[in-house]
Amino acid sequence: MIDKNHKEAAPTIFIIFGITGDLAGRKLLPALLALYSRRMLPKEFSIIGISRRIWTREDFRQFIREHIKIRPGQYKEEDVKHFIDHIEYEQGLFDSALLYESLKSRIANIENRFKRCCNKLFHLSVPSNHCEPILKNLSELKLHEECSDELGWTRVLVEKPFGNDIDTAIRLDKLLASLFREEQIFRIDHYLAKEALQNILTFRFANSLFEPLWNHNFIDRVHIRLLEKNDVSGRATFYDSVGALKDVGQNHLLQMLALTAMEEPNDFNPENIRKERARVLKNLEPFPTRNLKEAVVRAQYKGYENEKGVAPASQTETYFLLKTFINNQRWANVPFFLESGRALKEAKTEICIYFKDQNTSSKKSEKRENVLVFRIQPDEGIKIRFWVKTPGFPMLIEPKTLSFKYSDIGTEDAIPDAYEKLIHDAIWGDQTLFASTDEVIYAWKYITPIIRSWGTVTLLEYPKGSMGPIE
């Protein structure tokens, strides 16, 4: 395999906690297979999947086959077979010492086979309350220790939500910091690795056209949406315990906001990019919690309480809309709207920048705004709405759209999935696409007071398949 320095990666063991969970089946295993088929995994590697289900190796292989959705012709069958041959199953409870004894000897066997101390990537694909017991048990047996930070390193990947509020996030961070150096900790927000989102920085800083306008003098408002058609079935128990704001607001939406609003870093190294993203989150104006209802809408789709796994009379929101501001000169008084919901009419993720109508003679009813839209998914691309004269005698004006689609320049396979990039970058130690401790903590500092006052905001209802509570 070729890395940025054209070096071969040492043998690597991926240790995935929560291998039978929704995320592992939908994203992690497909991403590992994709990297394997692109020959972008280390030549020598092994995957240990851990779950509490009592399964034989055969049951587990069957599970993998069923979960990795492969399009006809996507991969060579022999690649799929060889990939699955690299995966071992380890059964156990995350808080049981027995699991870690057995894991230790399994790792030792693999290292004997590879005849050296291997790199180890611990992926905590589990709800956040399992992180502490896992980390403590790993450290009891010194499994987190590395042979050296170059060969035989250990790294840990932690899924979001990172903690459950500001207090639990700080506690988890402290525990991680007691076992690993910051360069070994990879906090996942897979939105940071989406191609169309990464492109925002390129678009802003490589084109001199827009950056001069990127401020409160020219921008009227920004609307960031992550709308989903799916309801919560299949993940209802987890979802009901977090709700939309913690599930995607505290992380994905705030990261989209940070990339849109951040200052240009001195250079584009991971540390500086993360610092600038963190600065935006730090400057978010705290919510007027006493008057929360004026700044937020929260709602639940009709029939949510009947989903299997949802608590009776649950007050968990499946939709929210927040109006927020950034306390700095560039963004003075520019509202940022953050919106997300489940079971909606349409699935789309986008960032819309509405420019001010500079024409002072325009009447309110005929505002002529220019709008720049970053479409993150589906149909990744960029659109600009502008105004032209309608051909003909009268002086009429109408909107038109300039548009660019990623599909015009590459095939679907050319755009790597976010998880492919994350795993790839974690192997090579690049933290640009991962959240720093500051980002996570500032995001929680902002979100926690809202969540603690949620009860004061009426939970609205909306029908499934609608546009949400405000049509």
Nearest to 215 by CA among 322, 329, 327, 373: 329
Strands 296-301 and 459-462: parallel
Provide the minimum distance between the beta carbon of 443 and ligand BG6 in the complex, in angstroms, as a whole number.
14
Q: Tell me if residue 252 is catalytic.
A: yes
> Mask 140-169, x = binds ligand BG6 (CB under 6 A)?
------------------------------
The CA distance from 302 to 313, in Å, is: 12
- Pick from 240, 292, 335: nearest CA to 447: 292
Of 31 and 103, which CB lies nearer to ligand BG6 in the complex structure?
31
Does 34 contact ligand BG6 by CB under 6 A?
A: no
Q: Choose between 311 and 347: whose C-beta lies nearer to ligand BG6.
A: 347
Q: How far is the CB of 172 from ligand BG6 (least distance, A)?
A: 17
The least CB distance from residue 349 to ligand BG6, in Å, is 6
What does the block give as tokens for 405? 């689609």
> Should residue 10 be labelled a site residue for ligand BG6 when binding is judged by CB under 6 A?
no
Minimum distance, C-beta of residue 228 to ligand BG6, in the bound complex (Å): 6
Query: CA angle, corner 369, sides to 365 and 373, nearest 5?
Result: 135
439 binds ligand BG6 (CB under 6 A): no
CA distances to 165, 189, 223, 357 from 170, in Å = 9, 17, 30, 44
Q: How far is the CB of 243 from ligand BG6 (least distance, A)?
A: 10
Distance in Å, CB of 179 to ligand BG6, minimum: 25
Q: Which residue lies nearer to ligand BG6 by CB, 247 or 307?
A: 247
Tell whether residue 247 is a contact of ligand BG6 (CB under 6 A): yes
Assess 441 for contact with ligand BG6 (CB under 6 A). no
Instruction: Decide: is 248 part of the binding site for ligand BG6 (CB under 6 A).
Output: yes
**On the CB side of 66, how many CA atoms lie within 13 Å of its CA?**
8
CA angle 406, 407, 410 (to 5 degrees): 90
Select 344 or 441, whichever has its Cβ closest to ligand BG6. Answer: 344
Residues binding ligand BG6: number (CB under 6 A): 4
Name the residue among 99, 149, 86 with its Cα closest to residue 126: 99
**Which residue's CB comes closest to ligand BG6?**
247
Beta strands in 148-304 (DSSP E): 154-158, 185-188, 219-227, 296-301
Counting contacts by CB under 6 A, is residue 228 touching ligand BG6?
yes
Q: Identify the bridge partners of residue 385 per DSSP, sorted by sequence position.
A: 371, 401
Reduce the DSSP state of residue 336 to 3 states and report it. strand
Should residue 231 be labelled a site residue for ligand BG6 when binding is judged by CB under 6 A? no
* Residue numbers 324-353 binding ligand BG6 by CB under 6 A: 349
Residue with tokens 């990947």: 157
**Per CB under 6 A, which of residues 251..270 are in contact with ligand BG6?**
none
Q: Which residue among 123, 190, 223, 252 is the active-site one? A: 252
Using the minimum distance from each CB to ligand BG6, give the nearer residue, 247 or 439: 247
Strand order of the β-sheet with 119-124 is: 87-91, 45-51, 12-17, 119-124, 154-158, 185-188, 434-435
> How many whole angstroms separate alpha carbon 268 and alpha carbon 230?
36
- DSSP 8-state class, residue 118: P
**Which residues would be at the binding site for ligand BG6 (CB under 6 A)?**
228, 247-248, 349
Indicate which residues carry an active-site annotation. Answer: 252
